[in-house]
Structure 1
Amino acid sequence: MEHVGRTGEPDKRRVRQEFLAARNRLTDDDVRAASRALAERSLELPELARARTVAAYVSVGGEPGTLALLDALRARGVRVLLPALLPDNDLDWGEYTGPGSLARVQHGGKMALFEPSGLRLGPDAVADADVVLLPGLAVDTRGMRLGRGGGSYDRVLARLEHMGARPRLVVLLYDTEVVAHVPVEAHDKPVHAVVTPSGTRRFASA
């Protein structure tokens, strides 16, 4: 799936709209079933089995569900960090200690997010993570991730590189969101793996 505009640059906005439209057609039962399978597949990852700290996120809307995975990681004794959106679209981080540690936060006209309600640890806290679980809309056969366009995780990945941190980067998606090609820009970086309800795919380019 690729759209090329008049300038010759891939039209990321149109591609995002197509993937979001497909998610909007999912039923609640579809999302719940995918969430259970995604947690099972993710917990099979050797990277998560070894991890002491994982940076993750709380799914919203039609995103593949993450809460079951977050609770399973905590049950293993893993420290789980969750993002909090800052006014400039950068991300602060806080620790997830269970559903009671989440607050629903409305950021202007954007979708409401579930963020950690406890102590904020600062944007650099993500560098402590052994694995970073990334949201996205699609990933291609090169491991290139298509995000939602806000730029928050571009900042996270740039910060990790600047700090010399090298966590494993894993994106969580539906099966239909692993595609042949997504549009990319010069700053985009490949992930190490994608987990979907049916399994895991790894990428040598990361």
Structure 2
Amino acid sequence: MPAPHEVTCVQHLSSIKQLKKKLRLEALGRRDALPVDYRIDASLRIADTGTASLTFAPGTSVSGFWPIRSEVDLRPLLFHMREKGARLCLPVIIDKRTILFRELVRGAPLVETGFGTIGPPEDAAVLDPSLMLVPLAAFDERGHRIGYGAGYYDRAIARLKDACVNPRLIGVAFNCQEVEVVPDEPHDVPLEAILTESGLRSFD
């Protein structure tokens, strides 16, 4: 029979997950409600800000994402970063727990890679990104994020840190996805900054 403190801990974690789920659904609902022309214009502003503000050395591995549903369209920013010398990569789902980042090469085909995404095929090089443009459902003013609930990025970041890669984490979202407070969990890693249509906001 579990000890009382163990029961309390389980109940607390369950409460956090329920709150995160609520915040996620509300933030995604606001994002889905944005007019298409607003999302296009906001994505272009994000690309302009990111191009001007994000610095990296030529040859740096940068992970992005191809937009699904009502996400920010990162493609204009990614193409600018490639022109500045970035090696681009996109996440691909390997199994129910794992994503890897395959190199995005100009002219190479894209294939379905799970979760409604497309990305480079199996023969593409696997990179360990040192700069990650992170998709998210919600974020707060401290730089904490809520993902889509599957934990892929949390595990990928942990794997990179175990391999002595400490990637810079830049969240990408629309302003409407900000929430007052994201409840913390032990595995959470705060973002370095968030990139929205209002600009690049850095966190301590």
> Taking structure 2 as the reference length, what is the TM-score of the superposition?
0.84
- Seq. identity, %: 29
Q: Given the alignment, which residue of 113, 118, 125 partners 1:114? A: 118
Q: Give the count of matched residue pairs.
A: 190
- Alignment of 1:68 with 2:76, yes or no, is yes
DSSP-derived class of the 2:37 partner: helix
DSSP-derived class of the 1:164 partner: coil
Q: Provide the C-alpha distance between the structure 2 equivalents of 1:147 and 1:55, rounded to a whole number of angstroms.
A: 16
Residue pairs, 1:1-206, within 5 angstroms:
7-8=11-12, 9-10=15-16, 11-48=19-56, 52-98=60-106, 101-105=109-113, 107=114, 110=115, 112-117=116-121, 119-122=123-126, 125-126=127-128, 129-204=129-204
DSSP-derived class of the 1:101 partner: coil
Show structure 1 runs of 5+ residues with no match: 1-6
Structure showing greater radius of gyration is 2
Show structure 2 runs of 5+ residues with no match: 1-10
TM-superposed CA distance for 1:36, in Å, is: 0.4
Q: Provide the C-alpha distance between the structure 2 equivalents of 1:170 and 1:38, rounded to a whole number of angstroms.
A: 12
Q: Could you give the per-residue CA deviations for residues 57-105 of structure 1, whole angstroms, max 9, x where no partner exists?
A: 1121101111111111112221101111112231122111247532244
Contact 2:23 2:179 (8 Å CA) reproduced: no
Contact 1:34 1:197 (8 Å CA) reproduced: yes
The runs of at least 4 consecutive aligned structure 1 residues that moved more than 6 Å come to none
TM-superposed CA distance for 1:148, in Å, is: 0.7
Contact 1:47 1:131 (8 Å CA) reproduced: no
TM-superposed CA distance for 1:51, in Å, is: 6.5
Contact 2:175 2:197 (8 Å CA) reproduced: yes
